[in-house]
Amino acid sequence: MSIIEIKNLEKIYNENTDIPVHAVNNVNLSFEKGEFAAIVGPSGCGKTTLLNLIGGLDSPTSGMISIDGVDINTLSQSKLTNFRMDNIGFVFQAYNLIPVLTAKENVEFIMHLQGASKKDRDKRAEELLQAVGIDDKANVRPGKLSGGQQQRVAVARALASKPKFILADEPTANLDSKSTETLLSIMERLNKEENITFIFSTHDQRVVNKAHRLIKLEDGKVIGDERVIK
Amino acid sequence: MILTIAWKNVWRSKVRSLVVVSAVAIGLWGGITAVSFMNGLMLGRLNDAIKIEVASVQLHNAAFMENDEIQYTIHNVDELMNKVAQYPGVLAVSKRFRTDVMLNSNRAAAGASMIGVVPENEKKVSQLYQHLVDSNSHYFEGIKHRPILIGEKMAEKLKVHVRSKILINTVDANGNAVREVFRVVGIFKTQNTSFDEMNVFIRFSDAQKIFQMKKDEAHELAILMKKMMQTKQITMQLKNKYTTFKINKKALLKARNDSIPQSIYKQLQDLSSNKTYSYKKYGALLMQKLGKKHYQLYQKQLEAISETGLDVAQWKHISPELAMQSSWLDLMLYVFVGIILAALGFGIVNTMLMAVLERVREIGMLIAIGMNRKRVFSMIVLETVFLSLTGGILGIILAWITVSVLNYTGVNMSQFSKGMEALGYPSLIYPSIDLPSYIKITIMVILTGILAAIYPALHAIRLKPAEAIRKE
């Protein structure tokens, strides 16, 4: 069963001007539970916009996005924020961790927003940091972690709320080869062992090589959607 | 966790936060210290006024308060004195004689209020005996026949000194002229030059003889309380006990034609027997008879037609200008600190706005991962309150230390003493601020923090996560 259903999705910037920009153009897609999919294409093709729309960070000009049967465009701002918290995990290109909190506190933060008890938060944060191989840095602030380590904390944070899927916008763009390799292995393992759904936007060939599904985007249109048998 | 993040965020830019904290601390320190000076000045004046001039509470024949003629005395005053002295919180009681006189020396004349006191009792109520200036001055000692104590200003006016003769001219209860020679036994000087100029003191026993008063009559009973805060309570107790009311028939008849409607007149007529009521009962009776609305509407007129027995007044009513200055000072505290905080508030708004603008991407991320706008708003408000409160508490502590030290040492303002004494203020000031004022100032600081947070917090919650996350 599809966890994400996208129908006739359009996003037009500067709609009422002489030069409207079709960032996403009539996109129809669906994602199943446990996918490891990459949205690929050149810079400016609309990858991030599509990911933002799927994540409910931006609203479409037209079309529909349904997550687990919920049309997210019909939700109010506050309901949408809560919906994101409970259903979607985000990994950003620039890691975007809270600099004043330690790695563990960063992971715990979203669980705190969800109202989890201190005991549950502690336990899950430790498990997740262990899963991404950074449990020895649990009490270190992001400023003292390398880019790769920060991105692993970001993955742990994205998983903390037990989301239905994780959206990762160019997660390896700021990482060196070794860190990229480590991060991708972790995400691949989580996908394989825990059946966690990952959707990336990327133009990094190393990510493309690991993806099980490649969605090619050009000028906001899906020009290819192929499944790679590993 | 939001509290923790907010507190940690305050210290992300240490220098910037310390600048704001210092500004708030210095501003409040200056403001509170300045207000403590004014407060000390006022308290000094109040203390002098109560301990030298008016006492905490005064009792008079109610008619004397309307028209201070010599015949309106308190009867059985010695018995009353003893009873009042038994009230808890009463430190001392002294009976006084009062009348207006003309004083004549060989070279000048001046009007004054002449107060007859029992020296040994008066010493317990008034510290005037500690304010004698001439080295030959004594507090009713040394001169057996008709001693008089006068103020330095009056002595200058009359051009007299200790042991000089002064002729007193006045009238007795029957309107007969009274001329009596007194000899200056002492010259006093208080912080209030107009008090020194307007009051002269003689022995109560002399006043009794000259004005042929009965043995147990006096015009005034001055009561000094152990603690100032007990004044209101004792005033109410004495009022309930000794202030009796009844309708004045003549006044009621007059009011019917001038100030009260016929319906009210009729209802009051039923009450206008010779029966007297206690202060409490009289008010309750009038309210019951006329209804609350009419009672409040005609309160002034009702007071005018009510005859009272003893008038009990605390210093605030005897010296309303002091009460006004005192409440004006309370207001000044808020105005002064309010202006300082308002100015600092703009600085805080600026700092917090900078903090928000620097963290657009982070705030965008927080909204993206599920921190709702209420929580983002609270976080910014908390950060601002923490920032202001840190400075506020620091400023309050600094001010408390400064005020405590100055309160111990006192501040000598003798270079301005002439001007200050003319207004009744002491030249040695003991700055002070009470605990409730510190609490109120802390609340004002918190409110400033909340108000200063609104604009930056609104800016933060209006961020669009998709755009904010990509902000460089």
> Cβ A99–B365 below 8 Å, yes or no?
no
Contact A97, A150 (CB under 8 A): yes
- Read off the pLDDT band of A107 (50, 70, 90): very high
pLDDT of residue B422: 66
For residue A99, list chain B residues with Cβ-Cβ distance below 8 A. Answer: 12, 362
Q: How many residues does chain A have?
A: 230
Torsion, Cα of A100, A105, A110, A116 (10° steps) = -140
H or E element that contains A164: none
B369 and B463 belong to one structural domain: yes
A48 to chain B: which residues are within 8 Å by CB?
A: 470
pLDDT digit string, tens, across residues A219-230: 999 999 988 876
Specify the CATH number for the domain of residue A165. 3.40.50.300
- Return the number of CB contacts < 8 Å for A and B: 66
Q: Which residues of B touch A161 (CB under 8 A)?
A: 369-370
DSSP B167-215: EEEEE-TTS-EEEEEEEEEEEE--S-HHHHHHEEEEEHHHHHHHTT--T
DSSP one-letter code for B138: -
Q: How confident is the model at residue A123 (pLDDT cuts 50, 70, 90)?
A: very high
Among B8, B368, B469, whose Cβ lies nearest the Cβ of A84? B368
Total number of domains constituting chain B: 3
Mutation target among A77, A80, A113 for the B interface, most CBs of B within 10 A:
A113
* Same domain (yes/no): B375, B435: yes
Question: Minimal Cα–Cα distance from B458 to chain A, Å?
Answer: 15
- Cα dihedral: B80, B82, B83, B87 (round 10): 130
Shared-domain flag, residues B460 and B380: yes
How far B16 CA sits from the closest chain A CA (Å)? 16
> Inter-chain contact B369–A86, Cβ cutoff 8 Å?
no
Q: DSSP secondary-structure letter at A142?
A: G
The range of the structural domain enclosing residue B126 comes to 69-218
- How large is the average pLDDT for residues A133-142? 92
Q: Residue A13, Cβ neighbours under 10 Å: how many? A: 13
Asked if residue B313 belongs to a domain, the reply is no
B/e letters for B47-66, b = 16+ CB within 10 Å, e = fewer, are ebbbbbbbbbbbbbbbbbbe
Residue type, position B167, single letter:
L
Given a cut of 50, the residues of chain B with pLDDT beneath it are none
Which pLDDT score, from 0 to 100, does residue A149 have? 92
* A48 neighbors A39 (Cβ within 8 angstroms): no
- DSSP 8-state secondary structure symbol assigned to residue B49: I
The contact set of A with B (CB < 8 A) is: 48, 52, 55, 57-58, 77-78, 81-82, 84-86, 90, 92, 94, 96, 98-101, 105, 108-110, 112-114, 157-158, 161
**Is B439 a domain residue?**
yes
**Mean pLDDT to the nearest integer, A170-179:** 86
Q: Are A4 and A67 in contact (CB under 8 A)?
A: yes
Do B203 and B108 lie in one domain? The reply is yes
- Quick one: pLDDT at residue B190? 87
Tell me, what's the pLDDT at A7? 94
Asked if pLDDT for residue A93 goes beyond 90, the answer is no
Partners of residue A85 in chain B, C-beta under 8 Å: 369-371
Question: DSSP character for B134?
Answer: S
B334 and B426 co-located in one domain: yes
How confident is the model over A83-111, as a mean pLDDT?
92
Q: Within a domain: residue B8?
A: yes
- Residue B60, in any domain of the structure: no
Kindly identify which residue of chain B lies nearest to residue A166, measuring between CA atoms.
Answer: B369
Residues in chain B, overall count? 472
Q: Does residue B84 sit in the same domain as residue B212? A: yes
Helix (H, G, I), strand (E, B) or coil at B217: coil
The number of folded domains in chain A is 1
Which residue's structure tokens are 């009794």? Answer: B208
Q: Is residue B351 included in any domain, yes or no? A: yes
Write down which residue in B282, B307, B332 finishes a domain.
B307
Asked if residue B238 is part of any domain, the answer here is: no
Same domain for B302 and B344, yes or no, is no
Rounded Cα distance between B289 and B100, Å, is 41
Range of the domain at A96: 2-227
- Best A49, A57, A165 member to test B by mutation, with max B CBs in 10 Å, is A57
- Please state the φ and ψ torsions of residue B359, each to the nearest 5 degrees: -115, 25
DSSP, residue by residue, B264-323: HHHHHHHH-SS--EEHHHHHHHHHHHH-HHHHHHTHHHHHHTEEESEEEEEHHHHSHHHH
ipTM, two decimals: 0.90
> Do A168 and A198 form a contact (C-beta atoms < 8 A)?
yes
Using an 8 Å CB-CB cutoff, list chain B residues near A78. 372-374
> To the nearest whole angstrom, how far is the Cα of A201 from the nearest Cα of chain B?
14
End-to-end CA distance of chain A: 22
Question: Would you say residue A147 has pLDDT above 80?
Answer: yes
Q: Which residue has the higher pLDDT, A88 or A20?
A: A88
CA distance B50 to B116: 18
Chain mean position to CA B72: 28
CA gap A157, B199 in Å, rounded = 83
Chain A residue numbers touching B470 (CB-CB < 8 A): 48
B272 and B405 in a single domain? The answer is no
